[in-house]
Amino acid sequence: MIHPTAIVDSKAEIDTNVDIGPYSIIEADVAIGSGTVIGAHVVVQSYVTIGPECQIFQYASIGAPPQALAYKGEKTHVSIGRGTIVREFVTINRGTEFGGGITEVGEDNLLMAYAHIAHDCITGREVIFANNATLAGHIIVGDFVTVGGLVAVHQFVRIGDYAYIGGKAAVVKDIPPYVIASGDRAKLHGLNNVGLKRQGFSKETLTVLKKAYRIIFRIGLTLNEAIERVKAEVEQIPEVIDLIDFIQSSQRGITR
């Protein structure tokens, strides 16, 4: 059902099973999937795709042009995956041509009130952004990540799968997978044991990851020395391989 006060452009592709609340604005070249609910006073600008079964709460702004001085009006996009919840006053900006052209929010994300997803960011599955969490441009967030309230993440940072970032952190370097980070500037505080257990990681896997974490981050070796030692002394389970690959592919440097 589309409320009579909503303004929906005739060039928008709206599934028949979509609710749009009072005074919301849906511009041309928007696609919204079945079962999605758009609240009151929401603005969805052009070149946005919203998947099925999403919930967009009041006063959210999706698809505004990127806040980048180099942007000159190019046709760029936002994509929001199935089942994602976007709470009040969240802002999600379109991508830039020089940054890939699209901002992607993955499936089953929860974006709490006032969160901001800037241009060219990509998030994985089941990511949680608490209130006022903010991503600058060109950030990649893995699957099952939690970003605490008032966290600020610097542009071009990567955040690995299953990482947890505590509230009010300032993140200026990559956050490896499976860890907890917090503080200004963010530092590592061990494995995300509670989160990993909730996601079904076995005791044996956690024991191996703990050994790898200690070698890499706690005994004073350089990263190269630590990685060679992990390869020699730690069982090469998939999670350890992922951790090593993430570190070796870092461009900004690793939070330690």
Catalytic residue among 137, 148, 160, 195: 137
Q: Which tokens belong to 4?
A: 């009579």
Catalytic residue among 63, 83, 120, 138: 120
Q: Which tokens belong to 136?
A: 């600058």
120 noted as active-site residue: yes
Q: How far, in Å, CA of 112 to CA of 57, rounded?
A: 10
Helix 203-217 to helix 238-248 angle (10° resolution) is 30
* CB atoms near residue 118 (< 10 Å): 24
Catalytic residue among 21, 41, 83, 119: 119
77 noted as active-site residue: no
Radius of gyration of the chain (CA): 20
Tell me the β-bridge partners of 153: 135, 171
Helix 223-233 to helix 203-217 angle (10° resolution) is 150
Q: Dihedrals φ, ψ of 180, to 5°?
A: -110, 135
137 noted as active-site residue: yes
Active site residue ranges = 119-120, 137
